[in-house]
Amino acid sequence: MTEQTFDADTAPDAQYPDAVEAIRTRRSGHNFDPDGDVAEETLREIVRDATLAPSAFNLQPWEFVAVRDEERLDDLVDLAYGQEHLRDAGTGVVVVGHTDAERTAERVYNEWAEAGRISEEDAADRIAQAEDDDADREFAVRNASLAAENFLLSAHARGLKATPMTGFDFEGVDEFLGLPDDLIPVVLIALGESGGDEPERLPRRSVDDVLHVDDY
């Protein structure tokens, strides 16, 4: 199977703000421009950035379902309990996680072996293990959530607004998208052009409050 790969070191879009600036200025917005439009090429670039997120053993157990058709988006807004900013955004991206490593295990472990990072025997063992393992929702949620954060930061760095949402009917969205049994929706991202400023960011807990060293 021939798969496309992406060389992050030679990406043509190096003019965007650096990571720390993007982290510090990213917001979840409700104020989208309802007349705005995100080009499909831009969506593809953001998804490519999302795929550069870390994942367990580089298994990349994620998919992205972009809902852009107006009627489909109306249905998705209903499934998101009427959150209107999703409609204004114009694109809803459901980040989907694999509950089973089996989907990518063969390809990925063979890549580890081909790169000389593990033995062929180890790769075969890991592939067999992935085939035996039961479904694991945590595996899906952990990995797909990291990809989702990359998505948010990339969209923001490109001057777009991207709001993560879990206020939606998970079973309904699962069915609406026609997801296979081993895939689950993890987070829905409203993606669009900004309609203006957002209310000031609410305070964050202090580092002293959240950082524990050596022990809780």
What is the binding site for ligand FMN (CB under 6 A)? Answer: 27-28, 30, 83, 163-167, 201
The nearest distance, CB 187 to ligand FMN, in angstroms, is 6
- The residue nearest ligand FMN at its CB is 167
The nearest distance, CB 211 to ligand FMN, in angstroms, is 19
Burial class (CB in 10 A: 0-12, 13-18, 19+), 178: exposed
Nearer to ligand FMN, 111 or 149 (CB): 149
Burial class (CB in 10 A: 0-12, 13-18, 19+), 203: exposed
The nearest distance, CB 139 to ligand FMN, in angstroms, is 17
The nearest distance, CB 4 to ligand FMN, in angstroms, is 30
Nearer to ligand FMN, 124 or 141 (CB): 141
Q: Record the tokens describing residue 29, joined without a space.
A: 């917005």
For residue 163, which phi and psi values (nearest 5 degrees)?
-115, 120
CA distance 107 to 147: 19
CA nearest to 97, candidates 153, 170, 190, 28: 170
Nearer to ligand FMN, 111 or 193 (CB): 193
Nearer to ligand FMN, 150 or 163 (CB): 163
